A and B are shown apart, each in its own frame.
Chain A
């Protein structure tokens, strides 16, 4: 069953067509990877899904509900959260606060509650804190909860971003190069974590350059090149796809290519 659907999605920046008539379905409960050379338009696809950009043409929908035209801040509440290729935490806030803010869309308290601190607000706060700590435990960060986010190591920061995206219990989690900058051990741990997140019922859509990770955890892979989707299929199918090899793989090896 398709959870997230991209229907003929195109976006142009001036003369550049960054994403070109892409048709893609993300199925409920799967781990789908989007790969492609640098500048292929992968992050742009995520920015389109989260309404940071609006498609020039085409439609995006979640569970049959159109996402096009909906402001970014309503996307999280609909069940889509994400991480960023360049880490975007709240650096001067504590790890715990970072994750609590991630649960913003699940809270209801407003100014009135802030100023009166009625029991209902206290309860919401307590629940929020409990969920935040659970998310931190899930990503093995609970011991660091009082640290400032900017003082975490690079790998920890990447995991914190995932915890922040996870705490609102999204339907689908978008991960933009989650392994970038991690060492091999951290990558192994990350793979395991991504699998465990999926096992809680959250669909995973990730962009990643690390082929070992991509081949290791994805059930399906989509390949983007110059904004066009050139292949879709299981890791095995994609690995042996002619167009992919021609456009992207070089001599059987996955190589990054800088777009001219």
Chain B
């Protein structure tokens, strides 16, 4: 049984099954759930995709980025232009959104990733503002008025399937040579280069993949709202995505999932509070950070916990056999 599961083809088919199942289940859920709840679910998925990207940059590789919304906007506009102006099919548009954002991630990464900590944060913040102002002044994006007439092609099953793909790829990446190099950079850059890790290369990889996720998220967003304008992608949007990652626990994929659910649903659940909504939301964030300063699942390594439990039971068994 275990041998069979180790087979690549079996794993690949299993992966496809999971995707098919996701699409099927979410499709069924979509039929019964009221449209309002469905919309929340859809935004949870989009936020999750983007937050997983930022988690790779900030949580795994340790590079604080305050400009994630810029990559989202690049993906949103690129895909909208592709589908509206050039009649590219929806999924092609999503891919284009991701790729263009990724390209910008690489181009921006080269000069800025020499910076660390606060300096990098400010550089990414500056980049995001430049992008926003640029979109406000460009003709093809229809400037401040906003880009109208995008098809509402995004559906709940599509978002969830892409979210699951992102999730699986992120888990794989983290457990690979590249992922470990990224973790090492977060932990200690000098020690990383001493063991042969090209820190610039892996930082740019993380940035590129993170930007790709944001771009895909932006594309899905654009094709949900059907109308985008530069103010959708301001500093607060970057902070929203960062909050998901931080609240869930920097570097924790399960944490990012919980963060995406909680922080996307909370403002909606708090809607009856009307004017006090954002205040209560803020207080909630503060309380969580007081009780769980490393995030809801920060410092909890599920895989390690499982492995450890496994080793313990093995030891016990060995003890009994003696």
Contacts and interface: CB of A to CB of B under 8 A. Distances in A.
Interface of A: 50, 52, 71-77, 81-82, 84, 88-94, 97, 100-102, 104-105, 107, 109-111, 113-115, 117-119, 121-122, 124-125, 128, 146, 164-165, 168
20 contacts: A75-B194, A76-B195, A77-B196, A82-B194, A88-B190, A90-B184, A90-B187, A90-B191, A91-B187, A93-B180, A93-B187, A94-B304, A101-B184, A101-B195, A104-B180, A104-B196, A119-B8, A124-B177, A146-B307, A168-B196
Given A90-B183, A109-B178, A119-B8, A76 B196 contact: yes
B8 A117 contact: yes
Contacts of A74: 196
Interface residues of B, number: 33
B199 interface: yes
B177 A109 contact: yes
**Secondary structure dominating the interface of B:** helix
The 7 closest A-B pairs by CB, nearest first: A105-B196, A76-B196, A114-B176, A90-B187, A88-B191, A72-B193, A109-B177
Nearest to B180: A101
Contact of B195 (A111, A115, A124, A168): A168
Given A73-B198, A93-B187, A104-B197, A111 B178 contact: yes
B204 to A, nearest CB: 11
A72 B194 contact: yes
Contact of A115 (B11, B172, B193): B172
B308 interface: yes
A121 B173 CA distance: 12
Given A50-B194, A104-B180, A89 B173 contact: no
A145 B246 CA distance: 28
Contacts of A124: 177
B191 A89 contact: yes
A111 B205 contact: yes
Contacts of B181: 101, 104
B196 A114 contact: no
Interface of B: 6, 8, 11, 169, 172-173, 176-181, 183-184, 187-188, 190-199, 205, 209, 301, 304, 307-308, 311
Nearest to A114: B176
Nearest to A119: B8
B101 to A, nearest CB: 17
B311 A117 contact: no
Contacts of B311: 146
A56 B245 CA distance: 44
Contacts of B173: 111, 114-115
A104 B179 CA distance: 11
Contacts of B177: 104, 107, 109-110, 113-114, 124-125, 128
Nearest to B299: A92
Nearest to B7: A119
A115 B205 CA distance: 13
Contacts of A93: 180, 183-184, 187
A110 B173 CA distance: 10
Contacts of B183: 90, 93, 97, 101
Contacts of A168: 195-196
Contacts of B205: 111
A97 B180 contact: yes
Contacts of B304: 94, 146
A89 B190 CA distance: 10
A111 to B, nearest CB: 6
Contacts of B196: 73-77, 104-105, 168
Contact of A109 (B176, B197, B307): B176
B174 to A, nearest CB: 9
A88 B180 contact: no
Given A50-B194, A73-B196, A92-B187, 4 more contacts: A52-B193, A84-B194, A93-B183, A100-B180
